[in-house]
Amino acid sequence: MRIAMIGTGYVGLVTGACFSEFGVDVCCVDKDAGKIQRLKAGEIPIFEPGLDQLVEGNVKAGRLSFTTDLREGMAGADAVFIAVGTPSRRGDGHADLSYVYAAAREIADTMDGYTVVVTKSTVPVGTGREVEAIIRERRPDARFDVCSNPEFLREGAAINDFMRPDRVVIGCESERAQEVMRGLYRPLYLIETPIVFTSLETSEMIKYAANTFLATKITFINEIADLCEKVGADVHDVARGIGLDGRIGRKFLHPGPGYGGSCFPKDTLALVKTAQDYGAPLRIIETVVDVNDRRKQAMADRIVAACGGSVAGKTVAVLGLTFKPNTDDMRDSPALDIVPALLAAGATVRAYDPEGMDEAAKLMDGIEYGQSAYEAMDGADAVAIVTEWNEFRALDLARMKKLLKAPVVVDLRNVYDPKDMRAAGFEYTCVGRGTDR
């Protein structure tokens, strides 16, 4: 089989490479000529563990190629996937579908023979029908079906998530298109992955319901963490105590500085907008969005409080900038709120992130960077752990203590044990562990 993947970003590149690993001929198409040039030269434009080997192997095997030319990409393709960005539309929070619709128009103008058009991007309910209408209007003669096939992979673990998913969701109303989709996901049938076939609308809704539910779970435990601090309880024990209940589940119950990243913030907002448009407001999700927004400022305030109420003229070392470890993705990272708030409060911020500093430098001004965690901490008045990269989990505490001007540690990811930290002489602040006041 052969497919074209339009959009060679975090989702398109991983998905394209994984399909080629399944034995499918994949051509990844992107408008960004620089990105395609780098890929052709064997360079991976994003950081995602394992992706370099996967791409290299499949390029060598002749199953994976890259182009800026959609016609070349779509030649002889059984299916074309749309994996372009759907960011928040500036001003109103709706998903910006201009890239998806532009791709639909380009597909219509290029299509030759029966093609399955698949929306892999996260798109609001109704988008698949609109893609169908756009293509039909431009090419009344074309033979095609539109499917929705939302992606659930997580950055940092994307390859495994794609290769061994909990389920695959396919919104598809034609037998012929279902056959093509079954063919593409054939290796997953062999490992008995549940494949859920639904209507287009249901599939689109599943993606938003999943992401907003997970964002709600995170926000729930964050608020419980705040209460734990007040009442003298430990949020980790609470999370374990409730998470062992099969109806609740243990995942996504880790407190922190609020959810960020390229999906949850924009998807919660987009679903809120869709619900308002349909006159069926989602008040829980509206509150989740509001609580999470406020939390990021509250985390900056927590760092200021740990510094004795003011950071003016002080240096704060910030460890971790990306929204989570094992990615270079800075989109909607909590650091984008926390760092500017510290700067505005008069601090000098010296940051270190293993993969995110180039991206961060494009998005924020006025930060100094260290080349290691220790360099960032050298002479600082406090250190804040904002992203839980593995290398921040086992820092040399004695060295840290020597480097810092004051032994102030604000651990927004709870990677250290409060007792150990206090025993080592640190003034240690974390999230939701009220038993250690």
* 33's tokens: 């000529």
Q: How many alpha carbons lie under 13 Å from residue 266 in its C-beta half-sphere? A: 21
Catalytic residue among 28, 228, 263, 430: 263
Reference 415, options 373, 436, 435, 386; nearest CA is 386
| Residue 171 binds to ligand NAD (criterion: CB under 6 A) | no
Tell me the closest approach of the beta carbon of residue 364 to ligand NAD, in angstroms: 19
Q: Is 253 annotated as a binding residue?
A: yes
Contacts of residue 14, defined as CB under 8 A and 6 or more positions apart, other chains included, come to 48, 51, 153, 158, 159, 162
Instruction: Assess contact for 145 and 160: CB atoms under 8 A.
Output: no
Nearer to ligand NAD, 29 or 177 (CB): 29
| Residue 9 binds to ligand NAD (criterion: CB under 6 A) | yes
For 9-70, the DSSP string reads: SHHHHHHHHHHHHTT-EEEEE-S-HHHHHHHHTT--SS--TTHHHHHHHHHHTT-EEEES-H
Tell me the closest approach of the beta carbon of residue 68 to ligand NAD, in angstroms: 8
Nearer to ligand NAD, 263 or 317 (CB): 263
Q: Which residue in the set 5, 7, 318, 392 belongs to the binding site for ligand NAD (CB under 6 A)?
A: 7
Nearer to ligand NAD, 12 or 407 (CB): 12
Q: Which residue in the set 20, 67, 115, 121 belongs to the binding site for ligand NAD (CB under 6 A)?
A: 121
Window 234-273: contact mask with ligand NAD (x via CB under 6 A): ----------------------------xx----------
* 308's tokens: 């004795």
The side-by-side arrangement of strands in the sheet containing 368-369 is 368-369, 348-352, 315-319, 382-385, 408-411, 427-429
Q: How many alpha carbons lie under 13 Å from residue 159 in its C-beta half-sphere? A: 16
Q: Is 324 annotated as a binding residue?
A: yes
Q: Is 370 annotated as a binding residue?
A: no
Residues 329, 403: Cα–Cα separation, whole Å: 29
Which residue of this chain has its Cβ atom nearest to ligand NAD in the complex? 9
Reduced DSSP (H G I as helix, E B as strand, rest coil) percent helix, strand, coil of the chain, to 5: 45, 15, 40
Nearer to ligand NAD, 9 or 407 (CB): 9
Q: Nearest 5°: phi and psi at 175? A: -60, -45
* 226's tokens: 């705040």
Tell me the closest approach of the beta carbon of residue 39 to ligand NAD, in angstroms: 10
Is 228 tagged catalytic? no
The footprint of ligand NAD on residues 72-111 (CB under 6 A) is: 83-86, 99, 102-103, 106
| Residue 10 binds to ligand NAD (criterion: CB under 6 A) | yes
Q: Is 255 annotated as a binding residue?
A: yes
Nearer to ligand NAD, 99 or 392 (CB): 99
- Which residues are annotated as catalytic? 263
Residues that bind ligand NAD (CB under 6 A): 6-12, 29-32, 35, 83-86, 99, 102-103, 106, 121-122, 151, 153, 155, 262-263
